[in-house]
Amino acid sequence: MQSAKQFTSIFGGVLVLFLVAPLIIRDTQFQHLMIMLLLFTTLSQAWNLIGGFAGQVSLGHAMFFGIGAYAAMAPLNQWGLTPWIGMAIGGLVAMVAAVIVGYPVFRLKGHYFVISTFAVAEVVRELFSNWDWVDGPIGLDAPLVEQGWRNFMFYHTKLPYHYTLLIFFAVVMFVAFRMERSRMGYYFRAIKQRPEAAQAMGVNITLFKQYAFIISAFFTAICGSMYGLYVLHIEPSTVLSLDISIKIVLIAVLGGIGSLWGPLLGATILISLQEYSRIWLGGTGRGIDLIVLGALIVIICVYEPNGIVGLIKRFSRKKRKA
């Protein structure tokens, strides 16, 4: 575990960097990259709580992401409800969904959780695709409303999205940091390493897995809301797709599963790769980012299962010895 001092200084540095970067670099492509980076880091950190720390791999986080996106966009679209309330609703619905998915499987051993998250996410996508109120497979466009904080709509600047996400990123990082050194954090790690020994120590492992999943689902839904409000168009095949679920996992795996800085490192590489290959290579570059990414993942899996964070640790250990 990283010392509190070390964490605080790195965390402070990262925050300052994200605070000033969009003020100095006014290029909108770059600002877009920063927003995506914050979004996917936060998403991946939310996943990390259950998938990394507690070791319960979810391949269905798109369901929470999509629920959040729709909860913010649909009431705004239909009734003009402020998306802040929609966001709260999305968060709550996601928490309930986490209980419904988790309750039957957390008491079982084995891989039921992975399979059921995957399956339920597919079902949720089908449901939204067939739901007329949210225009089924066509999806929803953000309505043309007065811009400002009430509607969380800004047509000429990206900065409000950036700073709102930055605050949310900071909150999730702080929660993860506090959690790691609390009883709950120890319990999550114990459940991942030796579930039976954890039980013998008095841990209700079913309950604690459920806690991890609920917290994770909540944060993921908020990310989904922000994403919808930022890109202005959502549909089942994007916000509820397996693509999203997988991307969230890959970022954590690449960066270092179950570590505090893994998501940021993983997202920096993956999101830059994705955005810049799109910009530079345009249509012809389609898929190249995925090929490079695939190669990176293979290298990570073979060479250092603990991701980039693992590489850094190994390197600094060698340096200290030398």
Partner 1 sequence: MPILEVKNLSMHFGELAALEDINLAVEKGEILGLIGPNGAGKTTFFNCITGFLNATRGDIFYKEQNITRFGPHRVCKLGICRTFQIVQSFNEMTALENVMMGAFCRHHLTGDAREKAEEILKFTGLQDKKNQLAGGLTLADQKRIELARTIATEPDVVLLDEVMAGLNPTETEEAIGLIQKVHEKGLTIIVVEHVMEVIMKISHRIAVFDSGELIVDGPPEEVVQDERVIKAYLGEEYHAES
Region of 7-15, 67-75, 134-142, 201-209 interacting with partner 1 (CB under 8 A): 201-209
Identified binder of partner 1 from the candidate list 125, 189, 209, 247, rule CB under 8 A:
189
Size of the site for partner 1 (CB under 8 A): 19
CB 199 within 8 A of CB 187: no
**196 in contact with partner 1 (CB under 8 A):** yes
For partner 1, give the closer residue by CB, 233 or 314. Answer: 314
CB of 196 to partner 1, least distance (A): 6
Positions of E strands within 95-174:
140-141
Which has the closest alpha carbon to 229: 135, 138, 143, 130? Answer: 143
CB 58 within 8 A of CB 42: no
Inter-CA distances, 170 with 11, 44, 100, 261, Å: 9, 13, 29, 12
Identified binder of partner 1 from the candidate list 62, 142, 172, 190, rule CB under 8 A:
190
CB of 62 to partner 1, least distance (A): 30
**166 in contact with partner 1 (CB under 8 A):** no
CB of 191 to partner 1, least distance (A): 10
**182 in contact with partner 1 (CB under 8 A):** yes
Inter-CA distances, 201 with 36, 112, 191, 204, Å: 41, 24, 11, 9
What distance in Å separates the CA atoms of residue 234 and residue 227, rounded to the nearest whole number?
9
**193 in contact with partner 1 (CB under 8 A):** yes
Residues that bind partner 1 (CB under 8 A): 181-183, 186-187, 189-190, 193-194, 196-205
